[in-house]
Chains A and B, each alone.
Chain A
Amino acid sequence: DAKTTQPPSMDCAEGRAANLPCNHSTISGNEYVYWYRQIHSQGPQYIIHGLKNNETNEMASLIITEDRKSSTLILPHATLRDTAVYYCIVRVAWEGNKLVFGAGTILRVKS
């Protein structure tokens, strides 16, 4: 079972920052927070992951609260091509561990 809770959908204006929340109140100490996205009729794409520190890469930033019970994925300047389903997943980062996808958040970027 998925261990995360996300809003079913969100809208964002093109060019603005998109902030996608995720609750993972039962996360354990050795579990990482991963974010993937799936554009319609394509396979999921890895975005970012983190343990407890905030992380940033060329795609997004990940902000994890100090108690690690929630996190926020930030797309700094959303474009129409960022319209997708965004999945927040918690998992132990050891070899072989599988990804369990929840329902995700449908992000619609509008011009």
Chain B
Amino acid sequence: GAVVSQHPSWVICKSGTSVKIECRSLDFQATTMFWYRQFPKQSLMLMATSNEGSKATYEQGVEKDKFLINHASLTLSTLTVTSAHPEDSSFYICSARAGSGGNEQFFGPGTRLTVL
């Protein structure tokens, strides 16, 4: 299957700082990328859907000013957690969907964020 990478794989930051997570589709062009969050022993929760070149669509209850999403190219989307707090500590996972004909989503390996 297609490969999606995330960087960094883990990050520790101080409360109040901002953290940027990158999601890249390595061998295909992704017109749509999705960002999920997963707390320990829970399922994945969709945060937002981003389409290349347009604003992201956020799920209910997700603060768009806190979780900034940029999908500037067909192979890169970024999630910035602004003014991070300990309750933002979680496993963040992105997925990407190819634009031409295919509708499968391919998931990245995830990024573990710990806010101290």
Contacts and interface: CB of A to CB of B under 8 A. Distances in A.
A104 B46 CA distance: 15
B106 A98 contact: no
A29 interface: no
Given A98-B34, A98-B49, A44 B43 contact: no
Interface residues of B, number: 24
Given A41-B91, A44-B93, A95-B103, A104 B43 contact: yes
A44 B91 CA distance: 12
Contact of A41 (B103, B104, B110): B110
B32 A103 contact: no
A74 to B, nearest CB: 20
Given A46-B105, A93-B103, A101 B44 contact: yes
B32 A43 contact: no
A42 B110 contact: yes
A98 B46 contact: yes
Nearest to A99: B105
Interface string B79-116: 00000000000010101010000011111111010000
16 contacts: A36-B107, A41-B110, A41-B112, A43-B95, A43-B110, A44-B44, A45-B107, A46-B104, A46-B105, A94-B103, A95-B103, A96-B32, A100-B46, A101-B43, A101-B44, A102-B43
